[in-house]
């Protein structure tokens, strides 16, 4: 299973293994990583699973849909070039070793 | 002595209460009771991703097993509470065990209203509430071709959409003159109606049922509709029996104050079962939503921990049917004016509702940025002008 490193806003690191097909949001919530709220449970409805993706993995991610793009514009923390919604990124083999940073607030 | 919080119900409210207690540094004991056997899971995806086959059972879990162990949450699955004894600060389980508490949180949610014709409950109808229900429906759907959905509300329509997407013949029967009439204006509900029809769903409005037999639904108008599976989503009833039998004041749900307290100060009620004064509706009501359950859980926990803050959060809801994504912010009743932002024809627009020039609610169809902006605006009491709302070049919020 691919290994994912989550870094909370206070610097706490968590390394977890996620099954293929799980989303970065599910991985964070189920493993009690602080700072991912995910109120809507992964429906791309609430923009509270905003994460910053390790730059070197950015190109390997699935293309962003329009709705994710729009939701990110409304996210609470600053939107950056490497911003994604965790619920829209599914874990693949290629993402093994990815580092995911959690913003200050959702 | 260590304090003990007992939470009845492991839906969004119950889980959030347990999580918030841990996050806020509560050092006492937490007991989380669920009458279901499964690890606590989220209900909204059942009528969407789960039954569509896009989300697995694991994907809809709230937390991993480790979460409960690591945080010393005593999770009691498959456990029913027989009664609450407010004066003895304890509850009794159905197996006769007593659990004492310092604080009790009632997060029992709602149950489905059952279809009755001429005062008699109709058998052989499927309702969706739990994971068990969803699995039963999944099984039954796979063996059925003709599906009748009774009730054109959110749940019924989400089920109708996913059934027709699976190639089934679907008929929706609704008593009112529009779909989702209680919560949506014609301009929005008509888009949903047209989209369902375009996808092959037969929508029968203002239609009453005369009789339901094993394999057919007979309408008052006389027509008989073949049905291998009958699903109903005709509303819910708050689960208040434990509370009311214990002498906790109930009135369309468990009555709570702005801190989620019932008439017993150390007993709280949160989520779908709690009748509260909602500042954004300016009246007492119950809300059936994730937002309400989650935010009320936080209010109850903060009060328990001696950091009281009153409940003051914009209500929001959503539904997903086909490519239609509807996000609702605020309570859109009693408005006196609406303004449209976006393009109705391409199903990308928002309806802004005003009362006395104050923005009170916004329904956004495939306009997620409007929705997020609307929540901030309403929360902060900011009302853009009608011209600003209609101007698509202007970013709101």
Give the predicted TM-score (pTM) of the model. Answer: 0.95
Q: Contact A74/B368, CB-based, under 8 Å? A: yes
Minimal Cβ distance to B327: which of A19, A31, A45: A45
Please report the pLDDT score of residue B39 as a whole number: 97
Q: What pLDDT band is residue A39 in, cutting at 50, 70 and 90?
A: confident
Provide the token pair at B350.
């928002």
Residue A7: pLDDT band by 50, 70, 90 thresholds? very high
The residue whose two tokens read 């999770």 is B75
> How close B224 gets to chain A, by Cα (Å)?
37
Tokens (6 digits) for B151:
């009730």
Contact between B366 and A67 using a beta-carbon 8 Å cutoff: yes
pLDDT of residue B218: 97
Predicted confidence band of residue A10 (pLDDT cuts 50, 70, 90)? very high
Total beta-carbon pairs less than 8 A apart between chain A and chain B = 69
Please, which pLDDT band fits residue A32 given cuts at 50, 70 and 90? confident
Instruction: State residue B145's pLDDT score.
Output: 98
Q: pLDDT under 50 in chain B at which residues? A: none
Distance to chain A for B358, nearest Cα, Å: 22
| pLDDT at A37 (0 to 100) | 87
Tell me the pLDDT tens digit for each residue of B166-212.
999 999 999 999 999 999 999 999 999 999 999 999 999 999 999 99
**Cα–Cα distances in Å, from B234 out to A4, A39, B127, B141, B392?**
43, 25, 9, 19, 37
The full DSSP string for B55-111 is S-TGGGBSS-HHHHHHTTEEEETT--EEEEEGGGTEEEETTS-EEE-SEEEE---EE
pLDDT of residue B395: 87
B61 touching A, CB under 8 A? yes
Q: Hey, is the C-beta of A87 within 8 angstroms of any chain B C-beta?
A: no
CA dist A51 and A33 (Å) reads 12
By the 8 A CB rule, do B31 and B116 touch? no
Tokens 């970065």, residue located:
A24
CB B291 within 8 A of CB B9: no
Q: Which pLDDT belongs to residue B141?
A: 97
């Amino acid at each position: 299973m691919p290994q994912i490193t989550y870094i909370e806003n206070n610097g706490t690191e968590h390394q977890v293994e996620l099954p293929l097909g799980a989303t970065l949001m599910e991985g964070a919530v189920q493993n009690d990583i602080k700072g991912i709220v995910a109120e809507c449970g992964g429906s791309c409805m609430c923009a509270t699973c905003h994460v910053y993706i390790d730059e070197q993995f950015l190109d390997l991610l699935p293309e962003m849909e329009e709705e994710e793009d729009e939701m990110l514009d409304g996210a609470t923390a600053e939107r950056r070039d490497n911003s994604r919604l965790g619920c829209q990124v599914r874990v693949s083999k290629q993402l093994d070793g990815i580092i995911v940073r959690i913003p200050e607030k959702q | 002595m260590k304090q003990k919080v007992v939470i009845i119900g492991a839906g969004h409210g119950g889980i959030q209460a347990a999580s918030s207690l841990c996050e806020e540094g509560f050092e006492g004991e937490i007991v989380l009771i669920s009458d279901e056997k499964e690890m606590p899971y989220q209900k909204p995806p059942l009528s969407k991703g789960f039954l569509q086959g896009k989300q697995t059972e694991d994907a809809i879990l709230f937390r991993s097993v480790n979460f409960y162990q690591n945080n010393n949450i005593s999770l009691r699955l498959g456990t029913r509470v027989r009664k609450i004894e407010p004066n003895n600060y304890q509850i009794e389980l159905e197996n006769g065990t007593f659990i004492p508490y310092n604080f009790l949180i009632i997060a029992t949610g709602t149950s489905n209203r059952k279809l009755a014709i001429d005062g008699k409950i109709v058998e052989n109808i499927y309702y969706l509430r739990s994971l068990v229900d969803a699995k039963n429906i999944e099984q039954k759907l796979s063996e059925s071709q003709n599906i009748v959905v009774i009730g054109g509300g959110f749940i019924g329509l989400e089920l109708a959409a996913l059934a027709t997407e699976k190639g089934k013949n679907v008929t929706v029967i609704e008593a009112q003159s529009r779909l989702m009439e209680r919560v949506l204006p014609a301009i929005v509900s008509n888009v949903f109606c047209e989209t369902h029809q375009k996808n092959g769903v037969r929508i029968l409005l203002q239609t009453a049922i005369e009789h339901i037999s094993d394999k057919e639904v007979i309408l008052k108008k006389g027509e008989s509709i073949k049905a291998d599976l009958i699903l109903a989503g005709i509303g819910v009833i708050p689960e208040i029996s434990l509370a009311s039998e214990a002498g906790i004041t109930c009135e369309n749900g468990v009555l709570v104050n702005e801190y989620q307290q019932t008439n017993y100060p150390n007993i709280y009620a949160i989520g779908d079962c709690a009748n509260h004064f909602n500042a954004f509706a300016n009246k007492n009501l119950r809300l059936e939503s994730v937002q309400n359950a989650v935010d009320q859980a936080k209010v109850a926990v903060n009060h328990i921990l001696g950091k009281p803050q009153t409940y003051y959060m914009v209500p929001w809801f959503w539904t997903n049917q086909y490519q239609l994504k509807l996000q609702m912010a605020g309570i859109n009743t009693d408005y006196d004016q609406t303004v449209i932002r976006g393009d109705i024809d391409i199903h990308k627009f928002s309806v802004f509702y005003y009362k006395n020039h104050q923005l009170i609610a916004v329904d956004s169809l495939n306009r997620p940025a409007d929705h997020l902006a609307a929540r901030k605006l309403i929360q902060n009491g900011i009302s853009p002008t009608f011209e600003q709302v209609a101007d698509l070049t202007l970013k709101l919020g």
